[in-house]
Amino acid sequence: MAESWYTMRDEVFADGLRGRVPRLPADPALLEEAARQYLPAGLFSFVAGGAGGGRTVAANRAAFDRWELTPRMMPAARPLRLRTELWGTGMSAPVVLAPIGLAGLAHPDGEAAAARVARDLGLAMTLSNSSSLSLEEVAGAAPGAGLWFQLHPPKDEELGASMVRRAEKAGYQAIVVTVDSWARGWRPADLDHGYDPFLRGQGMGTFLADPLFRRSLPADLAVGSEPWLAAAAARWREVFGHPGLSYAYFDRLREATGLPVLIKGVLHPDDAEQAIAHGVSGVVVSNHGGRQLDRSTAALDALPAVVRQVAGRVPVLFDSGVRSGADVAVALGLGADAVLLGRPWLYGLAIDGAEGVRHVLRCVLAELELTMLMSGAATVGDLRHMVAPAPGRADER
């Protein structure tokens, strides 16, 4: 076995013995509760919350309950094969950190800590274009990490192209274009808190380091001063979101970069088809963790039809609602080539910086490994034969 994350169970157990459980629980629901203690109320509900009445956030989780594994016993010893390569990024398991903007609000070490942990565990990380640290700082903090760069296409397409060129120069290996967030979702909790995380200048590292963005800021204000940051946040609101976007955007973007371009935020098979027709190298099935459109379908429910439509032409990735190694196994079993983990890594970061991120990832990886061993699955392909609808549930849809 190339990796043995299951031994990490012993580390988690030892931490439990030392009384660390309340701080860094292995139970994902308790992890969210623990993170609540470390974050100001407005920030916690920004992170944990979702669009509208939270129906899609809940549906993302409920969807996992409609699938189960039928394990096979006494498998002849076969080495577990989790090592994966996607677009030249090698990873020790098909688990990727999802782009989470504003990580610097959760912990001063921000995205740099997460990138180092991902690198040390052999996982890839997707950096948000709304990162607190600039994309160059994150790449510099974790040399050798497998990094992808996520782009919310700004209204100013030159600015988007400029950030993509910087990412390519800094060694990022893929561009992930998010298409479900051209406007911020209707998030009642944030509205009620009057919560705007950008007001503190966090989440702007990559923007502020961009010559095109900086050039648009007032020259008469001291750089870094409060009014300067306020002007930067206002400028960010001006450029954020590109309502007029069509699939032809992918053709233009591919002119600006030689990197593989992925689309993130697909639920309908026809969108996957169109994106492939416009040359994308991969599709991320996601509803943005239920943060954008309440009542959009649970991401896991959307996965099988997209996998069928794509039919192996490009890799299909998945996120939204993944909380455990067993969840990862189900998504892989339903045809995902890799799975992105969102809120949990940010919770780990909020609680204990790099150590917290490491804790969260080792729990997911250890449980994934154990789930595969106990199912008799040596490969992701084996999992595809083991995932089945839970009786009377998946069939009802």
Ligand X SMILES: O=C(O)C(=O)c1ccccc1
Look at residues 190, 187, 166, 163 and name the one whose alpha carbon lies nearest to residue 177.
Answer: 163
Q: What span, in angstroms and rounded, lies between the C-alpha atoms of 123 and 84? A: 10
121 binds, options ligand X, ligand FMN, none, Cβ within 5 to 8 A by partner type: none
Point out which span in 163-171, 187-195, 239-247, 286-294 binds ligand FMN (CB under 6 A): 286-294
Q: How far apart are CA 145 and CA 368, in angstroms?
A: 22
Q: Are 396 and 130 in contact (CB under 8 A)?
A: no
Select from 368, 370, 369, 364 the least CA-distant residue to 26: 364
Q: Which of 107, 152, 278, 288 is catalytic?
A: 288
Nearest-angstrom CA–CA distance, 73 and 80: 15
Query: Which partner, ligand X, ligand FMN, none, binds residue 319 by CB below 5 to 8 Å per kind?
Result: ligand FMN
Q: Contact, 105 vs 43, CB < 8 A?
A: yes
- From ligand FMN, ligand X, none, which one binds at residue 371 (CB under 5 to 8 Å depending on kind)? none
Site membership for ligand FMN, residue 210 (CB under 6 A): no
* Site track for ligand X across 120-159, x = CB under 6 A: ----------x-----------------------------
Find the binding residues for ligand FMN in span 17-56 (CB under 6 A): 47
Quick one: which of 122, 146, 203, 315 contacts ligand X (CB under 6 A)? 203
Output the smallest distance, CB 196 to ligand X, in A: 10
CB proximity list for 261: less than 8 A, separation 6 or greater: 174, 175, 177, 250, 253, 254, 279, 280, 281
Determine the interface stretch with ligand FMN among 31-39, 95-103, 243-251, 368-376 (rule: CB under 6 A): 95-103
Rounded (10°) CA dihedral 83, 305, 50, 45: -10
CA distances from 192 to 41, 101, 195 (A): 12, 21, 8
If one asks whether residue 99 binds ligand FMN (CB under 6 A), the answer comes out as yes
- Alpha-carbon dihedral 322, 323, 329, 331, rounded to 10 degrees: -10
39 makes contact with ligand X (CB under 6 A): no
CB of 105: closest distance to ligand FMN in angstroms? Answer: 9
User: Which one, 197 or 269, has the nearer CB to ligand X?
Assistant: 197
Torsion of CA 48, 54, 56, 58, to 10 degrees: 70
Judged by CB under 6 A, which stretch of 76-84, 94-102, 272-280, 389-397 contacts ligand FMN?
Answer: 94-102
Short-list 189, 111, 201, 123, CA closest to 150: 111
Question: If binding is defined by CB under 6 A, does position 289 make contact with ligand FMN?
Answer: yes
The one among 25, 49, 50, 101 contacting ligand X by CB under 6 A: 101
| Residue number with CB closer to ligand X (137 or 180) | 180
Bridge partners (DSSP) listed for residue 146: 124
- From the list 89, 92, 184, 85, the residue with the least C-alpha distance to 127 is 89
Judged by CB under 6 A, which of 126, 132, 181, 375 binds ligand X? 181
Beta strands 89-91; 84-86: pairing state: antiparallel
**Pairing outcome for strands 124-127 and 387-389:** unpaired
Residue 217 region by backbone torsions, left for phi larger than 0, else alpha for psi between -120 and 50, else beta:
beta
CB 142 within 8 Å of CB 123:
no
**Which 140-169 residues touch ligand FMN, going by CB under 6 A?**
150
Residue 343 interacts, among ligand FMN, ligand X, none and using kind-specific CB cut-offs from 5 to 8 Å, with: ligand FMN
Question: Binding pattern to ligand X, positions 277-306, x when CB under 6 A?
Answer: -----------x--x---------------
Residue-level length of the chain: 397
Strand partners for 148: 126
Give bridge partners of residue 11 from the DSSP assignment.
none
**x/- track of binding to ligand FMN for residues 58-87 (CB under 6 A):** --x---------------------------
By CB under 6 A, residue 343 contacts ligand X: no
* Cβ at position 299, least distance to ligand FMN in Å: 8
Q: Catalytic residue at 152?
A: no
Residues at the interface with ligand FMN (CB under 6 A): 47, 60, 98-101, 128, 130, 150, 178, 264, 286, 288-289, 291, 319-322, 341-343
Residue numbers belonging to the annotated binding site for FMN: 99-101, 128, 150, 178, 264, 286, 319-323, 342-343
* Residues labelled as active-site residues: 288
Residues at the interface with ligand X (CB under 6 A): 101-102, 130, 181, 203, 288, 291
